[in-house]
Amino acid sequence: MGVCDAIEQYAPAGKPSAMNPPNLPKVAGIDSTVPPPAHTAPPAPQVQSAPMLIQDRLAGWISDLTTLQELTERLARTATLDEALHELLRAGAALVGARRGLLALEPADGLGPDTTVGLGLTRADLGHIETVPRAATASGRLLDAPPGAQSEIVDADLLTDSGLDPRHREVAVRLGYAASYALPLSTETAGRIGAAVWLYDEPAQPDERRRHLVGLYARQAAEHLALLTELDRARKTEGTLREELLPSRLPRVAGVQLAARHRTCARGGGDWFDALPLPDAALGLAVGSVTGSGPSAVAAMGRLRASLRAYAVMEGEDPVAVLSDLELLLRLTEPARSATALFAYCEPAQRKIILAGAGHSPPLVIGERRTEFMETSLSAPLGMLACWEAPSVEFRTEPGETVLLYTDGLLHRTGDPMDRAFARLHAAAAGVPKSLHADPAALADHILRTVLPDGLDTVDSDEDVVLLAARFE
């Protein structure tokens, strides 16, 4: 039979049974201390025929291949780097018959991410292991070795090794492990990306069959880890680029308090916001969304936001003119892309707002006496018509009222039809406690948590979310 029975529960719940012989040296997965039978005469030897031997071997190979397929499929279903690292550790521990382990991710190109995760080890345990000199650990030797220099490191009995580093011996005794088995994780294209180490509670080592299986699994796992590493880098790069393209901080303008919240989708979306001081103590507020996702949408979002800032400085008192210029630019430079946008020209001293929207959801006015949507004129998104133009809307707020601008992602993430999503948003705004009305940041957080409960504001989604709150004094 194969190793399926050994990993049926996926990770050993306690010490492997093969690790428990009292005195004799052991090999993981093999009980070397089978007691002699209590017979007065030895039993007759059983001779296995050649066909039966071949059949048993074939059954074992099939079982092993099935096991590898199941474990590889489970690993392939992991969507994040952290999930894949823990999955690899658990599967490897089951294959080699260990209970604990750690995986050090350290790509050879030096671009990161660098991290260490543990199986059956707390963060404090990992901290103790990190105090051991790097050259004295199996993971450190594998990570620092030249390519192809070492394929595995077997330390079957650490505590009897006279050459063991004293600090390593101290940590091993403290954490209660006596043996380890380590494998490098590498691919032909990415090179060395990390090392996995599994720890045994007693002197032991995996037998040749288990080492062969875990080696095959590790090669497949390394390819998956290399791919997820590249994706993780791309997401972080996009996130950094997106944050650089959005305002790093909101301006301070007399008569108004500002707060913004931004949640990015997993693939990187094109939702944006802006707030900029304008001549004559005025303020420009804008939110928008570019179609698509990924780097191209982020780049288009940055170009659109930068262009809107320029138009707002020149003709911000006329929001229709601002959006008309933006529509013309989008149609000429990116004819295959469309966008929604809303721009508001504010005079805080008079609490006067003039706004225009292009295919965008209406802003919400929130106060102690009213909670209502300020409907803009019905209009198509930018880039959809040969020539965009729609009338603006003018209104005034009462002292202490907050104007909330947002993108459609807030509504889409609810999973409800749009009419119900709008109703949910209105109910959340109407239910804001009075104590939060004076703080636009607390108000935005309350609405975000209420409209998107159970972590929907943080989980991966296909939709960006932007909230921009302006409280007029």
In this prediction, residue 379 has a pLDDT band, given cuts at 50, 70 and 90, of confident
* Rounded distance between C-alpha atoms, residue 366 and residue 406, angstroms: 13
CA–CA gap between residue 466 and residue 407 (Å, rounded): 5
The terminus-to-terminus CA distance of the chain in angstroms comes to 77
Which pLDDT tens digit goes with each residue over 153-190? 999 999 999 999 999 999 999 999 999 999 999 998 88
Nearest to 370 by CA among 321, 429, 428: 429
Of 174-188, 294-308, 441-455, the one with minimum mean pLDDT is: 294-308
Taking only the tens place, the pLDDT of each residue in 355-368 is 999 989 999 999 99
Q: Tell me the H-state helices in 121-193.
A: 123-130, 138-144, 166-175
148 near 197, Cβ under 8 Å? no
pLDDT of 299 strictly over 70: yes
Out of 98-112, 226-240, 305-319, pick the least confident.
226-240
Residue 37 has pLDDT above 90, yes or no: no
Over range 360-389, report the average pLDDT.
85
288, containing H or E segment: strand 282-293
- What is the average pLDDT score of the chain? 85
CA–CA separation, 277 and 346 (whole Å): 10
**β-bridge mates for residue 346, sequence order:** 283, 353
Write down the pLDDT at residue 334.
84
Could you report the per-residue pLDDT of 254-288, keeping only the tens digit for each? 999 999 998 877 666 788 999 999 999 999 999 99
Q: Is 200 helix (H, G, I), strand (E, B) or coil?
A: strand
Q: Where is average pLDDT lowest: 9-18, 198-207, 294-303?
A: 9-18
All structural domains of the chain, each given as residue ranges with its CATH number in brackets, are: 57-236 (3.30.450.40), 246-472 (3.60.40.10)
Instruction: Considering only residues 18 and 203, tell me which one the structure prediction assigns the higher pLDDT.
Output: 203
pLDDT of residue 239: 66
Q: What is the CA angle 49-50-56, rounded to 5?
A: 90
The pLDDT value given to residue 353:
96
Q: Mean of the pLDDT values across residues 417-439?
A: 95
Structure-block tokens of residue 1 = 């039979």
Q: What is the pLDDT of residues 91-148, one digit of tens each?
A: 999 999 999 999 999 999 888 899 999 999 999 999 999 999 999 999 999 999 887 6
Q: What is the mean pLDDT of residues 382-396?
A: 82
- Whole-number Å distance between alpha carbons of 215 and 96: 10
pLDDT at residue 268, rounded to an integer:
61
Are 180 and 158 in contact, with CB atoms under 8 Å apart? yes
According to DSSP, the residues that pair with 200 across neighbouring strands are: 179
Cα distances from 416 to residues 15, 187, 401, 452, 467, in angstroms, run 49, 44, 28, 11, 19
At residue 151 the predicted structure's pLDDT band, cuts being 50, 70 and 90, is confident
Q: Which residue has the higher pLDDT, 41 or 315?
A: 315
